[in-house]
Amino acid sequence: METASCSILYTLRFSIKTVTVSINNSSKKLYYETSLPKNNLFLYPSFPSTSPRNLNFHGENLQFNGFTAFTSLSDAQNQDPSPELAVLLEVDGVLMDAYRLGNRQAFNQAFQKLGLDCANWTEPVYSDLLRRSAGNEGRMLVLFFNRIGWPTSLPTSEKETFVKSVLREKKNALEELMLKSLPLRPGVEDFIDDACNKGIPVIILTSYSKSGDKIARSIVEKLGHERLSKIKVVGNEEVENSLYGQLVFGKGMTSSLDEQLAKEARKAASAEKQRIANEVASLLKVSVNLDTSSSESVKKVVAALRAGAEIAGVPVYNCILIAGSKSGVDGAEQIGMPRVVLRSSFTSRAEFPSANAIMDGFGGADLTVSKLCQKRWS
């Protein structure tokens, strides 16, 4: 795939190296950094690998949402900027604003199918449950039925099974909605076309979609066959088959004894933390459930981002994630990938302090390919 002839977001590194790794008789190039300042992204011009390590810039220093730019780049103009740039797009909140339309409608359809006439989520009810549960759909159901009362015929011991059945019906309803009635976000098709026309690799990430890989792919198919032929989709299978996926998830190679012991130690530590929390909770007569899934969630996001960069053939620090989720932003920050948040109904009031820019939509005064290339953030 061709690469773009425009400036790129560049993460400051003291030393960038590549290594070629051979797994299952296929060689792949892996980019990695030997030194990286934490939580600091800078907007510097990229230089060829043969350029001097010590770079001197002259001019006034400017701040743009966590980036640093320079008004005078006379020194940089004597060098050829790197042409590499790739755009990674999430599905939830980016390709489609499914949080407000799809999820709420799917829950209501699930309630109807299960004969729960007392359950109907209006937008205010749904938004309140979403906020109080931090997006955990099972928790949303528990909060709701604790408020209005559980079905009278439902034994207490079967509440968990009941919640799972509602979520299963909701997932089926959401998949049908995605395929038939929910539209893509305005401007996203033009954005993708513009990137492809400029030779910028476009990668769509479905592997860690909140709706699941299968439903996310059905959303991507709304882009049309011609557009799909120009982009790449990174789902669960693509992540597992990537070099990073094989290294992390053990596909294609055997983990060392040290890695296995370290994994078991982390599990034991989490279990011990939960045990101590339960003992304290019993004294206070409250219920405590430690969330140990967040680290696993970020791990899955990082794997998808690494796989996306690998498939695009562009170093991680030259990729830009267009994110609609906090987990995506967290994962990108962890590996030094620039990230731009596209607000949706779910994230309209959320804070993203580590994002390099926050936009309300595609096109016009909001997110455009030209802004990504020219590094102009308003």
Higher pLDDT, 178 or 127: 127
> 366 pLDDT band (50/70/90 cuts)?
very high
Higher pLDDT, 97 or 107: 107
Calculate the average pLDDT of the chain: 75
> 275 pLDDT band (50/70/90 cuts)?
low
Three-class DSSP category at 320:
strand
Which pLDDT does position 270 carry in this prediction?
Answer: 64
Question: Which of 78, 66, 8 has its CA nearest to residue 42?
Answer: 66
Tell me the torsion sign for CA atoms 244, 249, 254, 259.
positive
pLDDT digits 0-9 by tens, 13-33: 333 444 444 444 555 555 444
16: which strand partners? 33
**Tokens (6 digits) for 160:** 């968990």
Domain boundaries for CATH 1.10.150 within the chain: 102-180
Which pLDDT does position 259 carry in this prediction?
Answer: 58
pTM: 0.63
Strand duo 357-359 + 67-70: pairing: unpaired
Question: Which of 317, 311, 323 has its CA nearest to residue 9?
Answer: 317
Domain boundaries for CATH 3.40.50.1000 within the chain: 15-96+183-248+295-374
pLDDT digits 0-9 by tens, 6-16: 443 433 333 34
Residue 134 has pLDDT above 80, yes or no: no
Which class in CATH covers the domain with range 15-96+183-248+295-374?
alpha beta
Higher pLDDT, 316 or 286: 316
Cα separation, 50 vs 36, whole angstroms: 20
Residue 79 has pLDDT above 50, yes or no: no
The residue to which tokens 């696993």 are assigned: 296
Q: Tell me the fold of 102-180.
A: DNA polymerase; domain 1 (1.10.150)
Contacts of residue 342, defined as CB under 8 A and 6 or more positions apart, other chains included, come to 93, 94, 185, 322, 323, 324, 359, 360, 361, 362, 367
Which pLDDT does position 28 carry in this prediction?
Answer: 52
Percentage, residues of the chain above pLDDT 70: 63
Three-class DSSP category at 215:
helix
> 258 pLDDT band (50/70/90 cuts)?
low
Residue 51 has pLDDT above 70, yes or no: no
Q: What share of the chain is helix, strand, coil (3-state, %, to 5)?
A: 45, 15, 40
